[in-house]
Amino acid sequence: MKVASQDFLQQAHEALRAKDKVERRDLLGQFMPAARDAAANAYGDFDGLRAHMKRVRGHTTEHLAHYLQQFEEAAVAHGNQVHFAATAEQLNSTVLSICQTHNARRVAKGKSMVTEETGLNELLLKAGLEVLETDLGEYIIQQAGEAPSHIVGPAFHKSLAEVRELFLAKHKLGERALESVSDIVEEARGVLRERFLAADVGIIGANALIAEHGTTMLVTNEGNGDLCANLPPVLIICTTFERLLPRAEDAMALQRLLVRSATGQSHTCYTSFYSGPRREDDVDGPLETHIILLDNKRSDILASDYHEILDCIRCGACLNHCPIYIGVGGHAYGWVYPGPMGSVLTPLLTSLEQSHDLPNACTSCGRCAEVCPANIPLPDLLRDLRQEESAQQLKPARWRRGLRLHAWLLRQPVLYQRLTGWSMSALGLLGKRRGAFRRMPFASGWTSQRDFPAPEAGGTFMRQYAARKRRGGRRG
């Protein structure tokens, strides 16, 4: 797993300097929350649905061994082969072994965050296989040699002009305009269609595993998941055990939450259920189906105080509402999972030492918790990780000394009020003419991006409060 979360601060700094991408993220931060709110409000009792699914997920987790066994038995009864992978390496080697058993050369992949997490593509390519991402966003970034910037829209960071130039360079189709989004989509369809038909193995993910039937559910808007699942002779479903739900109606309740939170739709174009390989009277479908359930530290998370992060349904709502994500984008986070959910999940799946800056990438505004369809207390989990960071002394020594000094000062209220009062008075006088400071000692992180407002006359809040209290006492 290639993880660059330790470089978050530098990567965030570079992301803020790319003005065109900042503007596109600003639009994302305006449009997606509005679409999500409209869809949630149109549903009716959206909060009631969230609470219901929270209970279902809690019940499933409490009886996980039972439902895992039920799912495996039902899936095997349908002709599936079920594999358990303890680590990312085991999942990758299992997929490669299946491909080699069938002498596969060409793999068509649907969008899968699990295989992004394990680095599956890199392994298969090194083994000599052709691997093609078929989700349009994933296909775009694969051609560009980039990582996803968003868990729902992997290519949100790309402009239409950038995609146009990419397709003109990668697709040897002669002179053409490619002036509109529809032109881009039509060309991608034409290129991908032949690759679907030629694929030896299809690989997809799953949004839910239904224990009672042993089936998997996949939600897409492009239909590429169905083509990956039905056209190649071998299908591999890569997923994780926390996708498990007891009943089909639970999966549909999850779908209602997921779609409205992810894209602001009432339903996606395709909600597909896969039961197993082709039967005698089926006209299409794979001849062989494998389901691989990945752990990769999830059992440890399940047994920890952070277990609620496993309720995440990968809708991306927390990203779309997070001022930090909108400011710096997904690539700054340095791994597969960005935004608030990634700032919790990445330290747990990799290490806090590698990614301790991520839990600090939070303004504590609470918007992520407000919109999370799984009711995950993301700000609380981020605070807990920051406490662990402090206990492990992962911050530089100067940061720790500064925090200890600040904590001591807060316990001396009289001294604190006098120091802040003198500081505000001095800053108010120095900045009176212009009303702001272009540069300030110890505040270059702020002033490198914007001016620092000078305090207004009247001093600190405590001084103004005391003065108002005295005036009120005199009036009495």
pLDDT tens digits along 33-77? 999 999 999 999 999 999 999 999 999 999 999 999 999 999 999
Where does a domain end: 271, 299, 327?
A: 299
Q: What's the mean per-residue pLDDT of the chain?
A: 93
Domain span at 121: 45-299
Q: Do 292 and 421 reside in the same domain of the chain?
A: no
Query: Per-residue confidence at 312, pLDDT binned at 50, 70, 90?
Result: very high
The number of helices, as runs of H, and strands, as runs of E, in the chain is 23, 12
Q: Is residue 19 part of a domain?
A: no
The pLDDT tens digits of the residues spanning 183-213 come to: 999 999 999 999 999 999 999 999 999 999 9
Arithmetic mean of pLDDT, 143-172 = 96
DSSP for 205-273, please give it.
--SEEETTTTEEEEEESSSHHHHHHHSSSEEEEEEEGGGEESSHHHHHHHHHHHHHHHTS-SS-SEEEE
Least confident interval from 185-199, 235-249, 357-371, 453-467? 453-467
Which residues have CB under 8 Å from 107's CB, separation 6+?
99, 124, 129, 130, 131, 132, 199, 200, 201, 202, 203
Q: Do 420 and 282 reside in the same domain of the chain?
A: no
Where does a domain end: 284, 299, 314?
A: 299
Q: Is residue 263 part of a domain?
A: yes
> What whole-number distance in Å separates Cα of residue 127 and Cα of residue 320?
37
Q: Do 69 and 200 reside in the same domain of the chain?
A: yes
pLDDT of 457 over the 70 cut: no
Query: Per-residue confidence at 9, pLDDT binned at 50, 70, 90?
Result: very high
Arithmetic mean of pLDDT, 261-273 = 95
Beta-bridge mates of residue 239: 293
Arithmetic mean of pLDDT, 289-312 = 98
Q: What is the pLDDT of residue 473?
A: 58
Q: Is residue 446 part of a domain?
A: yes
Q: Is residue 456 part of a domain?
A: yes
pLDDT of 93 over the 60 cut: yes
Q: Is residue 395 part of a domain?
A: no
> What whole-number distance in Å separates Cα of residue 388 and Cα of residue 383?
9
Whose structure tokens read 């490619």? 178
Arithmetic mean of pLDDT, 388-398 = 85
**Ramachandran area for residue 366 (φ above 0: left; ψ -120 to 50: alpha; else beta):** left
Q: Is residue 111 part of a domain?
A: yes
Q: Is residue 362 part of a domain?
A: no
Q: Which letter does DSSP use for residue 127 in this model?
A: T
pLDDT of 421 over the 60 cut: yes
Query: Per-residue confidence at 253, pLDDT binned at 50, 70, 90?
Result: very high
Q: Is residue 225 part of a domain?
A: yes
Cβ neighbours, 10 Å, residue 255: 18
Least confident interval from 147-151, 348-352, 420-424, 442-446? 442-446
Arithmetic mean of pLDDT, 139-144 = 97
The pLDDT tens digits of the residues spanning 422-439 come to: 888 888 888 878 888 888
pLDDT of 474 over the 60 cut: no
Q: Do 293 and 420 reside in the same domain of the chain?
A: no
CB-based burial of residue 217 (10 Å sphere; 0-12 exposed, 13-18 middle, 19+ buried)? buried
Query: Per-residue confidence at 440, pLDDT binned at 50, 70, 90?
Result: confident
Domain harbouring 123, CATH code: 3.40.50.10420
As given in the structure block, the two tokens for residue 199 are: 């694929």
Where does a domain end: 268, 299, 330?
A: 299
Question: pTM of this prediction?
Answer: 0.89
Q: Do 110 and 247 reside in the same domain of the chain?
A: yes
> Which is higher by pLDDT, 445 or 473?
445
Arithmetic mean of pLDDT, 106-120 = 97
Least confident interval from 83-92, 247-256, 309-318, 453-462? 453-462
* Span between the terminal Cα atoms of the chain, in Å: 70
- Please tell me the total count of domains within the chain: 2
> What whole-number distance in Å separates Cα of residue 392 and Cα of residue 394?
5
Query: Per-residue confidence at 476, pLDDT binned at 50, 70, 90?
Result: very low
Q: Do 49 and 191 reside in the same domain of the chain?
A: yes
